[in-house]
């Protein structure tokens, strides 16, 4: 029996309660152990263990949230993704590229509501050159220096390399110099090529998604990591996805946070698949917290799950309620999206006995006076909107 077989045998002999106690105290799960937990369906016990890990990693008395806006600067995309209801081809009459003034208005509205970040993502446009993006970043940085530009997922970055015939490092270096502040983890789906090839065509595969993140981290950048699950992947492939993220984080330490959500099949090419519910979401997030021992933060995905499940996610491994999400278009096109007010987000945290605190993308707490400004601004906006309807 070789060493690998010995480890697998030892892992198989360990009980689920032993594994959960051990990982809650800092033990690192193997792939085999992660899969055992994923297949065990020990919903309550796994959730409790994830909660213990979160408390160990985040003993502070508060839980956090962010205020940003998701600006989808274009819906024109050269890839064909069966799970996406948002994209349009370059010849579609419904395709668009936002003009600068519209972008600036959205940023200014975000600032007025106390936001400190723009999440800017779009389709993989086949014709926009790199200088279109660098000029945009430079102008945004010049106009709004207080705003972090959290922009361009790995599939977009990889598209830039093809359109401009530049390396990943060259593209990221130019974007960083122009004002790119951090990289979102969009387009991760499941980092297993069998899955990616089955649900998308013309889009970056697993190694290249990870390479974009690796190079960005090597350049000193920080980014988030994601997983969209509940479509054609197996449970083992969910663990493979988590393993690849964990390996890269061991190598670079550049991921600030992880966010997972369930695939929404409505209005997509995979509409025949049943939608996964709250159980699957909470259980997978809890397993993720147990497995990703080197990624410090996990965000609740209330945008896809709603207020009650989003709040419960704080007991199933999340330490952050995510963003107020002033604007969301991609998930909304699939027909399932939830919207919360800032007061609802804060109340959901406080009802669990934590202090609610606003943060930035790097998980630094926003000064209390700026936090109060955002609270007042959002309440005034809600009042004005309710009065106009």
pLDDT in tens, 35-64: 999 999 899 999 999 999 999 999 999 999
| Whole-number pLDDT of residue 337 | 60
For residues 11 and 148, the model is more confident at 148
pLDDT at 201 over 90: no
| Whole-number pLDDT of residue 8 | 47
pLDDT in tens, 67-85: 999 999 988 887 667 667 7
CA nearest neighbour of 200 among 123, 275, 276, 269: 269
CA nearest neighbour of 323 among 216, 248, 249, 224: 224
Pairing of strands 117-121, 200-201: unpaired
| Whole-number pLDDT of residue 9 | 43
Its sign, for the CA torsion 187, 332, 262, 224, is: positive
For residues 140 and 12, the model is more confident at 140
| Whole-number pLDDT of residue 264 | 83
- When pLDDT is averaged across residues 136-162 and rounded to a whole number, the result is 95
Q: Tell me the Cα Rg of the chain.
A: 21
Q: Extract the runs of DSSP E, i.e. beta strands, from 213-327.
A: 223-229, 255-262, 297-299, 320-323
385-389: Cβ within 8 A, 24+ apart: none
The residue behind tokens 């991760």 is: 188
Q: Please state, in angstroms and as integers, the Cα–Cα distance from residue 162 to each residue in 157, 171, 193, 260, following that order.
A: 9, 10, 20, 28
Beta bridge partners of 225: 258
| Whole-number pLDDT of residue 125 | 85
pLDDT in tens, 239-261: 999 999 999 999 999 999 999 99
Q: Which two tokens stand for residue 337?
A: 């999206």
Q: What is the DSSP code (8-state) at residue 235?
A: H
Q: Are 311 and 352 in contact (CB under 8 A)?
A: yes
What confidence category does residue 3 fall into, taking pLDDT thresholds of 50, 70 and 90?
A: very low
Q: Which two tokens stand for residue 273?
A: 């698949």
pLDDT in tens, 222-236: 999 999 999 999 999
What confidence category does residue 361 fall into, taking pLDDT thresholds of 50, 70 and 90?
A: very high
pLDDT in tens, 158-179: 999 999 999 999 999 999 999 9
| Whole-number pLDDT of residue 335 | 44
- Separation of alpha carbons 29 and 8, rounded Å: 12
Going along the chain from its start, the domains and CATH numbers come out as: 55-387 (3.20.20.70)
CA nearest neighbour of 16 among 6, 4, 5, 29: 29
- When pLDDT is averaged across residues 209-223 and rounded to a whole number, the result is 98
Q: Which residues contact 13 (CB under 8 A, 6 or more apart)?
A: none
- When pLDDT is averaged across residues 29-34 and rounded to a whole number, the result is 97
Our separate counts of H helices and E strands in the chain read 17, 11
What is the maximal distance between C-alpha atoms in the chain? 73
Q: Are 46 and 338 in contact (CB under 8 A)?
A: no
Q: Are 214 and 183 in contact (CB under 8 A)?
A: no
Q: Calculate the average pLDDT of the chain.
A: 90
pLDDT in tens, 305-351: 899 999 999 999 999 999 987 864 444 444 456 689 999 999 999 99
CB atoms within 10 A of CB 162: 13
The residue behind tokens 């290249």 is: 208
The residue behind tokens 């972090």 is: 148
């Amino acid at each position: 029996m070789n060493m690998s077989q010995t480890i697998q045998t030892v892992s198989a002999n360990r009980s689920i309660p032993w594994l959960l106690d051990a990982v809650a105290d800092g033990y690192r799960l193997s792939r085999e152990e992660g899969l055992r937990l994923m297949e065990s369906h020990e919903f309550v016990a796994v959730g409790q263990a994830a909660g213990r890990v979160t408390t160990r990693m985040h003993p502070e008395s508060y839980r956090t949230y962010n205020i940003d806006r998701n600006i989808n600067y274009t819906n024109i995309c050269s890839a064909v993704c069966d799970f996406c209801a948002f994209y349009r081809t370059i010849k579609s009459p419904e395709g668009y590229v936002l003009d600068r003034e519209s972008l600036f208005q959205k940023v200014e509205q975000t600032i007025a509501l106390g936001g400190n970040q723009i999440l800017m993502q779009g389709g993989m446009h086949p014709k926009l050159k790199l200088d279109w993006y660098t000029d945009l970043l430079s102008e945004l940085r010049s106009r709004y220096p207080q705003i972090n530009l959290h922009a361009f997922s790995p599939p977009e970055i990889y598209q830039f390399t093809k359109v401009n015939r530049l390396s990943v490092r060259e593209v990221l270096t130019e974007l960083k110099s122009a004002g790119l502040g951090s990289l979102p983890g969009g387009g991760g789906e499941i980092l297993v090529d069998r899955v990616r090839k089955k649900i998308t065509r013309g889009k970056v595969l697993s190694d290249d998604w990870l390479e974009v993140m690796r190079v960005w981290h090597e350049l000193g950048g920080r980014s988030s990591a994601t997983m969209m699950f509940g479509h054609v992947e197996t449970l083992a492939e969910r663990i493979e996805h988590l393993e690849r993220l964990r390996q890269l984080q061991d190598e670079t330490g550049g991921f600030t946070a992880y966010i997972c959500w369930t695939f929404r099949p409505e209005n997509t090419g995979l509409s025949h698949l049943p939608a996964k519910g709250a159980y699957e979401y909470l259980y997978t997030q809890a397993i993720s917290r147990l497995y990703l021992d080197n990624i410090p933060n996990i965000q609740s995905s209330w945008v896809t799950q709603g207020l009650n499940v989003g709040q419960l996610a704080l007991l199933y491994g999340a330490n952050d309620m995510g963003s107020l999400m002033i604007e969301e278009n991609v998930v909304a096109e699939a027909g399932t999206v939830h919207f919360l007010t800032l007061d609802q987000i804060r109340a959901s945290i406080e009802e669990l006995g934590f202090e609610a605190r606003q943060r930035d993308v790097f998980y630094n707490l926003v000064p209390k006076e700026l936090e109060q400004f955002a609270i007042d601004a959002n309440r005034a906006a809600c009042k004005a909107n309710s009065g106009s309807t």
